[in-house]
Structure 1
Amino acid sequence: MFSFFKTQVLHPVLDLIFPKYCIACDQLIPSESGFLCLSCSYTLPYTDMEKMEENAAQMRMLTKLPARYAASLLYFVEEGKVREMLHRLKYQNRPEIGVYLGRLIAQKFARQAWFNTIDAIIPVPLHAAKQARRGYNQSECIAEGIAEYIRKPVLSKAVRRIKNTESQTDKNRKERIDNVADAFELRKPEQIKDKHILLLDDVLTTGATLASCGSSILSGTSCSLSVATVAIAYR
């Protein structure tokens, strides 16, 4: 009886009062749906990097950070679906999108041996001033989604961003490296000593931010790092 009421009465009313839209294409979707319309859920540009012995994320990080493994979930292209999802997450006060994307990462990566040895997750931190303006750290939201699935802690206080850096968006490779040099500080080395840490960010472009953050961790304690991002910029 309740099931009939929910599907035949409650959901149509909710659709009318609180319309729900796909986070990738803005198409109207039923209230009981997740975050994506059927079309977008079947056509997201998955990389499958988590299965590869060598992949583009690893190659991009190779000379910058001694990571055990690196993988990105999706390909990022300008004006694409992934860009739209991440834009909503970062600039439209939609932290729940980050949690959803984190769950996607965990579900896709869960069968891989390297992923199942993770002890804790460190999201790349924002500077305190930027996080205060936004209200949340998008990478921490993604980390929470992964943590829900794999039951591992998110160590959001282990590393601090000590430089309020400019946006990396319009900078070239050298400018990106210079912009984030010495931008991070390891605060709680005892939390990660001798552990396998997943260093997490939203997008991998040149790898400068991840390398700077990861280097601050490795220089302060003995641990191993793997790197994961929601997306990798397609080049």
Structure 2
Amino acid sequence: MWISDFINLFFPEVCMGCDRSLTTGEQIICTTCRSEIPMALTHLDKDDKVKELFFARVNVETATSLFYYEKIGVVQQLIHHLKYRGHEEVSSFLGKWMAAELQNDPAFQDIDLVIPVPVHPKRRAKRGYNQVDGFGKELAAALGSRFRESVLIKKRNTINQAQLGQVKRSDETQSPYDLVEKIEPGTHVLLVDDVITTGTTLALCAKELHKNPDIKISIVTMAISV
């Protein structure tokens, strides 16, 4: 018996959506929870809810989210485990899921560079990782592009966006992000994040990236808040 089998015998892995024990072939969430997740993939709709958030704010080629995020539900549980309970593996799990949806989509075939929204060094040190790195790396691998997390930095540790009101979340006058590395002209950048609500965080990051001349930006997130 392998050590992992021995551990699972006494401490079986449980679904992060419902806390039931996972069975053979299941990872992170059980089959039942997986079937209940509200899929978004907004780029497939005529009224793209993600791209619409950036209208008249910043130029975006295409944008999409994997899931719809609700305050109660499997998606909320997954994001909570990822951001607050140390389960970094959720990021790669969701990245592989999204990669399967996008790797043959014409809109994402010319992606050159995948860049994650940065977290402040203090927050990263406390958590131990950037929660969107695994997500971005899986997308980069599937799309045949490069992953680069050093292009943007977060210079000011802001309050969690989920704790802010609508007006404060939408304030784009003082960006906490800085562009610290140049990007070659003609590059198509894929900017990735976890949950998008008003789009302010991504709009600010995109504006920094657009300081590089002649680049294109697309956006992919794990979920969009509804």
TM-score by length of 1: 0.88
Matched residue, 1:116: 109
Matched residue, 1:76: 69
Matched residue, 2:222: 230
Q: Deviations over 1:62-94 (max 9, x none)?
A: 232210011111000011110100000011111
How far did 1:170 drift? 2.1
Q: Aligned partners of 2:58, 2:182: CA distance in 1, in Å? A: 18
What is the Cα-based RMSD across aligned positions, in Å?
Answer: 2.1
Q: Aligned partners of 1:162, 1:38: CA distance in 2, in Å? A: 41
Return the match for 1:214 from 200, 206, 211: 206
Give 5+ residue unaligned stretches, structure 2.
Answer: none
2:163 corresponds to 1:170:
yes
Return the match for 1:29 from 8, 22, 41: 22
Q: Aligned partners of 2:46, 2:111: CA distance in 1, in Å? A: 18
Matched residue, 1:198: 190
How far did 1:24 drift? 1.8
Q: Aligned partners of 1:98, 1:45: CA distance in 2, in Å? A: 18
Matched residue, 2:151: 158
Give 5+ residue unaligned stretches, structure 1.
Answer: 1-7
What are the equivalent positions in structure 2 for 1:22-171 lying under 5 Å apart?
22-30=15-23, 32-171=25-164
How far did 1:160 drift? 0.9
Is the alpha carbon distance of 1:188 and 1:69 closer, same or farther for their aligned partners in structure 2, counting shifts above 3 Å?
same
Which structure 1 residue ranges, 4+ long, deviate > 6 Å from structure 2? 8-12
More helix by share: 1
How far did 1:142 drift? 1.2
Q: Aligned partners of 2:187, 2:212: CA distance in 1, in Å? A: 13
Q: Aligned partners of 2:102, 2:224: CA distance in 1, in Å? A: 16
Q: Deviations over 1:139-163 (max 9, x none)?
A: 1121122223223211100111111
Q: Aligned partners of 1:187, 1:180: CA distance in 2, in Å? A: 19
Aligned partner of residue 30 in structure 1, secondary structure:
coil
In 1, are the aligned partners of 2:185 and 2:212 still within 8 Å (CA)? no
Q: How many pairs does the alignment contain?
A: 226
Aligned partner of residue 78 in structure 2, secondary structure:
helix
Q: Which has the greater radius of gyration? A: 1
Identity of aligned residues (%): 27
TM-score by length of 2: 0.92
- Please, which moves more after superposition, 80-89 or 58-67? 58-67
Q: Aligned partners of 2:173, 2:18: CA distance in 1, in Å? A: 33
- Please, which moves more after superposition, 178-187 or 123-132? 178-187
2:181 corresponds to 1:188:
yes
Q: Aligned partners of 2:173, 2:129: CA distance in 1, in Å? A: 20
How far did 1:187 drift? 1.2
How far did 1:180 drift? 7.7
